[in-house]
Amino acid sequence: MIKFNKEVVAVTGGAGLIGSYLVDLLVEEGYKVIVIDDFSKGSIQNLNKNLNKIDLREGDLEDFSFTYKALGDCEIVFHLASRAYGIGYSQNNHTNILIHNEKITNNLILTFTKKIPKKILLVSSSCVYDDNGPDVISESYPIIHEPELANLGYGWAKRMMEKKFQILSKELNVPVSIVRPFNIYGERYNWVGEYSQAIPMLVKKVLDKNNPIIIWGSGNQKRNYIHAKDCARFLKTIMKNDDLGQIYNIGTEDVISMSELVNLIMKLSDIKLDIKFDKSKPEGRFVKSSQSALLKSIVDEEKLNLLKLELGIIKMFDWYNLQFNKKFTK
């Protein structure tokens, strides 16, 4: 087990949905935390709880000089920074997404060859898997076909990031753990309009009483959802306990269809609307769920203690009120 109580711990993308929860957990345990973020997706409000306890370094990781300065004294690195949005953005921006994330990856690699950290944890994505694999994907599923087509640019960027860091790990003998989150949501999500992800998008549509609710695709596509705080807990545990530099899926076998998700939001909000399906729009992989055995082996199955989706949706109602200055009450 690598202990990092006294080392300098960096979190790139630390003001974001997952990163800010991770920062909270690390500060809570007394670690010295450096947050690196350009606030293109993250929010300073997500850090309010610990602003006076962290070293905040604002800048763009696409800029090598900033990357080198920001990470030069960091011994433990959680790399979460990336620019990904919902499927609405991805369908027309695969190249832009690929180029942006590749620039960050290359700057980090070059920085770490000059200033070698003790350990790295990379946040990759379930988008690295192809569309035709099993419904429940394990980490051992072979990566031989194209990534998920609806998120092609992002999937390729994450695949290349994984490979480059695996080479770096062998060359410099630095442990690099890789995690592939499935669908993460939470009330610290920063709204990006039509490019937003599924749960915040659908919560807003229901609470705005947009009638009918338009669902992309058939509505039968199924996803596994995990709250961002739970994901952050798993990242911290994996970093502390994985000395071998393995790959972990952050997800479980439980799924819900888009139709069921919309109906759940309507049930919890006491709002009834019509639903229509736009089959001309992409819906992504039909089923995205993860075999959770490896995750449970390191987290401890009894301690997974995942926030129930119903409770997470209710938290998103508070997110809606704060994000849009509304006063929705059930």
CB atoms within 10 A of CB 23: 29
Q: Which amino acid is at 103?
A: K
Q: Evaluate whether 8-185+225-250 and 193-223+254-287+307-324 have a shared fold.
A: no
Looking at residue 111, its pLDDT comes to 97
Looking at residue 301, its pLDDT comes to 58
Longest dimension (CA), the chain: 58
Looking at residue 119, its pLDDT comes to 94
Q: What angle do CA 61, 120, 292 make, to 5 degrees?
A: 115
Q: pTM for the whole thing?
A: 0.94
83 HSE (CA, 13 A, CB side): 21
Assigned CATH topology for domain 193-223+254-287+307-324: UDP-galactose 4-epimerase; domain 1 (3.90.25)
**Residue 22 in contact with residue 230, Cβ under 8 Å?**
no
With b meaning 16 or more CB within 10 Å and e meaning fewer, what string describes 110-138? ebbeeeebebbbbbbbbbbbbeebeebbe
Q: What is the pLDDT of residues 41-77, one digit of tens each?
A: 899 999 999 999 999 999 999 999 999 999 988 999 9
Tell me whether strands 256-257 and 222-223 are parallel, antiparallel or unpaired: antiparallel
In the block, residue with structure tokens 């890789």 = 178
Helix (H) or strand (E) holding 138: none
- Residue 306 DSSP symbol: P
Q: Determine phi and psi for 232, rounding to 5 degrees.
A: -60, -40
Helix (H) or strand (E) holding 35: strand 32-37
Distance, CA of 96 to CA of 102 (rounded, Å): 10
Distance, CA of 70 to CA of 56 (rounded, Å): 10
What lies within 8 Å, CB to CB, of 310 at 6+ separation is 264, 268
Q: What is the pLDDT of residues 84-123, one digit of tens each?
A: 777 777 778 899 999 999 999 999 999 999 999 999 999 9
Enumerate the domain spans of the chain: 8-185+225-250, 193-223+254-287+307-324
**Residue 7 in contact with residue 27, Cβ under 8 Å?**
no
Looking at residue 323, its pLDDT comes to 94
What lies within 8 Å, CB to CB, of 301 at 6+ separation is none
**Residue 77 in contact with residue 121, Cβ under 8 Å?**
yes
Tokens found for residue 284: 């992504």
| pLDDT lower than 70: segments of the chain | 1-6, 301-303
Distance, CA of 277 to CA of 214 (rounded, Å): 6
Looking at residue 6, its pLDDT comes to 65
Distance, CA of 319 to CA of 206 (rounded, Å): 13
CATH superfamily ID and name for 8-185+225-250: NAD(P)-binding Rossmann-like Domain (3.40.50.720)
Count H helices and E strands in the chain, helices first. 10, 15
Residue 294 buriedness (CB in 10 A; 0-12 / 13-18 / 19+)? middle
Tokens found for residue 219: 């509505």
Nearest C-alpha neighbor of 306 from the set 128, 183, 129: 183
